[in-house]
Amino acid sequence: MKMISSGESRREGFSTGMLSPRRRTTSMPRTGVIAGSGFYDGEGVKVQELRKLSTPYGEPSDIFRICEISGKEVVLLSRHGTPHHIPPHMVNYRANLWGFRELGVERVFSVNAVGGISPRLEPGDLVIADQIIDMTHGRAATFYDRSEVVHIDFTQPFCHELRRTLIDAGEKIGTTIASAGTYICVEGPRLETRAEIQFFSMAGADIVGMTAMPEACLARELELCFACLAVVTNHAAGISEKRLTRAEVIATMKHSRERIKSVISQALSILPESRTCDCEHALKKAKL
């Protein structure tokens, strides 16, 4: 295994708005996975290369691990670093997504730990989110914060093709997955109050987490396909009378890890080689 460091991306187009990541020109486009540090441990994941990148937006959360999973070349990134040390409100989401694009990634599966709001959800359940409500504040949520004005369409925040692939993957391996759900993303790092969860429930949220935004909208700005595989680690505040503990969250994630890897591995094996969705045209008619 080799480690390669890349310097900061060139700053072409700086005066016109978003910068331009260099695109990989060889081989098939890669797929990215954003998950915890434990995802790349164990069988089925062959780490081939480590890439340390610097971007115009700062340092990504961790090194990028270029791996082989299900016969496909995959780029893995630990969202919170290795070991886990970056809180959700401090994650450099722009650098992370930029790094994926620079490494030739066109599709990204995001694994997110969430609390369950819907009464039908229990700890350990998997949910493929189809909608999102953004309650974060102060996070860098666009690459177009200079002289260019861009309004991406975010009616459907997640790629329907990737979502369908995850649903099919769950069915093929016999894993029950909720095929839809509204993810409400909060700022953190504190957990929510009982009243907030009641409010979120009335707003139609099924799950609550701290990391899906601005990941999803930044991926759309880079014309990447993006899907969220959410893992319910606990009941949200007030849903259960039990007090939430860190140990409960860690235990549920560990218990669910192999199932998550199985779903992602199966999804990679059945993922169409070419994109048929509209994600790669997200900027068409979005620029003023």
What's the Cα-to-Cα distance from 32 to each of 132, 237, 253, rounded to whole Å?
A: 21, 32, 20
Predicted confidence band at 42 (pLDDT cuts at 50, 70, 90)?
Answer: low
pLDDT at 15 over 60: no
Rg of the chain, C-alpha, whole Å:
18
Task: Convert the pLDDT of each residue in 155-198 to its tens digit.
Answer: 999 999 999 999 999 999 999 999 999 999 999 999 999 999 99
CB 156, CB 182: distance < 8 Å: no
Predicted confidence band at 199 (pLDDT cuts at 50, 70, 90)?
Answer: very high
What pLDDT sits at residue 168? 98
> At CA 168, angle to CA 96 and CA 175, rounded to 5?
90
Q: Which residue has the higher pLDDT, 162 or 11?
A: 162
Picking from 44, 31, 41, the residue whose alpha carbon sits closest to that of residue 165 is 31
pLDDT at 241 over 90: no
Domains and CATH numbers, the chain: 2-281 (3.40.50.1580)
What pLDDT sits at residue 12? 37
